[in-house]
Amino acid sequence: QLQLQESGPGLVKPSETLSLTCTVSGGSISSSSYYWGWIRQPPGKGLEWIGSIYYSGSTYYNPSLKSRVTISVDTSKNQFSLKLSSVTAADTAVYYCARRPWQLADGWFDPWGQGTLVTVSS
């Protein structure tokens, strides 16, 4: 059964870079059938798609965050990562990683990781 697990610092200072890693187990991140994505949820609020990456390195980013986001993949470790630069308190959220089929026409997310809370504060 495929599982995803987020990891990384739970506290980041304003203006610094948030870095998270998602480790995939029970399946290969190099599958040609899937994209791997990041979604976030500020406390008490809704969901926001951040971006997605294919095992080849091809990426799609949300234009609202594109200037600050980098998503990368390490197939040797079965992991993909998120970097969000110049963070502010507005970036405080639970960050989820998730899988979606490679075709946009099948662009739902399943499964999801359990999520990790990142707080931006000095």
Partner 1 sequence: VIWMTQSPSLLSASTGDRVIISCRMSQGISSYLAWYQQKPGKAPELLIYAASTLQSGVPSRFSGSGSGTDFTLTISCLQSEDFATYYCQQYYSFPLTFGGGTKVEIK
Using CB under 8 A, pick the residue from 48, 68, 70, 85 that binds partner 1: 48
Q: What are phi and psi of 33, to 5 degrees?
A: -95, -5
Minimum distance from residue 49 beta carbon to partner 1 (Å)? 4
Burial of 114 (0-12, 13-18, 19+ CB in 10 A): exposed
Please, which residue, 97 or 120, has the CB nearer to partner 1? 97
Minimum distance from residue 6 beta carbon to partner 1 (Å)? 10
User: For residue 107, what are its two tokens?
Assistant: 């662009």
- The Cα–Cα gap between 62 and 20 comes to 17
Is 80 one of the binding residues for partner 1 (CB under 8 A)? no
Cβ-contact 53, 72 below 8 angstroms: yes
Cβ-contact 118, 92 below 8 angstroms: yes
Using CB under 8 A, pick the residue from 62, 70, 78, 85 that binds partner 1: 62
Is 106 one of the binding residues for partner 1 (CB under 8 A)? yes
Cβ-contact 17, 87 below 8 angstroms: yes
How many residues belong to the site for partner 1 (CB under 8 A)?
Answer: 24
Using CB under 8 A, pick the residue from 22, 96, 118, 120 that binds partner 1: 96
Which residues of the shown chain bind partner 1 in the complex (CB under 8 A)?
46-49, 52, 60, 62-64, 96, 98, 100, 104-115
